């Protein structure tokens, strides 16, 4: 299942997050995820595992156009010239000549404007199909519009039933910015919450699946992280059921 971004490109609704994944374990997880059906893999320069993704997608046998690769400019690489150089380093590690989504990882006060200008150049040159931001709350977005030529296609933030950023979601919807959720499973926390367990039981689903489905029904694209083959499959099986409006309100 894909979603349409504000620049006409599409992005898979669910993806695999690569935070804290390294080496052969990371490569195996990515290859397994691709076998299951994942097509969006999310990494970052800060994660120090772009090479693992580059190796894995080539091992998978997929054509480049059949996988959606996201990476992010590191805080230490922000600034105009530094961002242009940082992308070249990332592309080499990812074994590709473009990324599908390039994100400004954090809204650093002194460098976010020039970093975005460099990202706009990268987009115009076709080295990123889409550009976006991460960890931008409403004040940062409001300021961002004052100097941007291109509205971000995506805003990636922490988002879950335990961190329901309703005002930000409404704002992004109004601006046609697709929200993407990192840590939608809270890194395994709250999976045994009694209220969540009760709702999950009604649907004969795991609590992790309920969290992910909640994101999807809000129009937010989750990128759960796992290296466990069982959980990789479980996290992907969230498109064949619907949470009722009443239960959605409870989860909210």
Contact 91, 127 (CB under 8 A): yes
Q: Tally Cβ neighbours within 10 Å of residue 93.
A: 19
* Consecutive H or E run containing 212: helix 207-217
Active site residue 145: no
CA-to-CA distance for 75 and 176, rounded, in angstroms? 26
Structure tokens at 177: 């910015």
* 96 SS3 class: coil
Which of these is catalytic: 19, 38, 47, 147? 47
Output the CA angle 132-37-6, nearest 5 degrees. 25
CA nearest neighbour of 66 among 96, 107, 23: 96
CA-to-CA distance for 137 and 80, rounded, in angstroms? 22
Active site residues: 47
């Amino acid at each position: 299942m894909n979603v349409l971004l504000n620049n006409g490109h599409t992005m898979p609704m669910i993806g695999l997050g690569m935070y804290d994944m390294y080496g052969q374990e990371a490569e195996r997880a990515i290859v397994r995820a691709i076998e299951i059906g994942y097509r969006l893999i999310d990494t970052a320069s800060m994660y120090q595992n772009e090479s693992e993704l580059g190796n894995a997608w080539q091992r998978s046998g997929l054509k480049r156009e059949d996988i959606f690769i996201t990476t992010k400019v590191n805080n230490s690489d922000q600034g105009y010239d530094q961002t242009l150089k940082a992308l070249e380093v990332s592309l080499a590690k990812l074994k590709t000549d473009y990324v599908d989504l390039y994100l400004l990882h954090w809204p650093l006060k002194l460098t976010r404007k020039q970093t975005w200008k460099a990202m706009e150049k990268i987009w115009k040159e076709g080295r990123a199909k889409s550009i976006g931001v991460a960890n931008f709350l409403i004040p940062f977005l409001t300021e961002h519009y004052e100097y941007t030529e291109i509205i971000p296609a995506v805003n990636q933030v922490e988002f879950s039933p335990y961190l329901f950023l309703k005002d930000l979601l409404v704002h992004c919807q109004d601006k046609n910015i697709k929200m993407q959720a990192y840590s939608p499973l809270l890194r395994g926390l709250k999976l045994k919450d009694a209220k969540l367990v009760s709702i999950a039981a009604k649907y004969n689903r795991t609590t992790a699946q309920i969290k992910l489905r909640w994101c999807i029904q809000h129009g937010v694209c989750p990128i759960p992280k796992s290296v466990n083959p069982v959980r990789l499959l479980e996290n992907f099986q969230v498109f064949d059921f619907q949470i009722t409006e009443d239960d959605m309100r409870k989860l909210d």
